[in-house]
Amino acid sequence: MTDRQNLLEQLLSFVEASTGSRPEQADENSSLREELALDSVDLVGVVMRIEAEFRIRLTHAELEQMTTVGSLLDLVDSKRAALAASISHLRAA
């Protein structure tokens, strides 16, 4: 399983923890609101789990742009890469 697939599985687990049910047919093209049926409260719960798990911050402005599972995965990937680069830079200093 690739890192991207692992990240998708974690995201679906966070959705399940926030909503009480796991989406059956979710993929990167799935809409967060329609297909995953996330309302604002559910989305906040998912975001809080993402932030705690990966030690990243997702801003309100960034989240407004997220419409699909794939767009959220892209954001998390970029934040994780930036964090890794920052840590690497600090270790080198």
Instruction: Let me know: does 50 contact 11? Beta carbons within 8 Å.
Output: yes
CA 72 from chain center: how many Å? 5
With a pLDDT cut of 90, the percent of the chain lying above it is 68
**Residues 86, 6: Cα–Cα separation, whole Å:** 23
Question: What domain count does the chain have?
Answer: 1
User: Across residues 68-81, what is the average pLDDT?
Assistant: 94
CA angle 20/25/27 to nearest 5° reads 105
- Any idea what the CATH number is for the domain that residue 81 is in? 1.10.1200.10
Output the CA torsion sign for 6, 44, 42, 49: positive
- Tokens (6 digits) for 92: 């080198």
Domain holding 27, by residue range, is 3-92
CA 63 from chain center: how many Å? 10
User: Across residues 28-57, what is the average pLDDT?
Assistant: 93
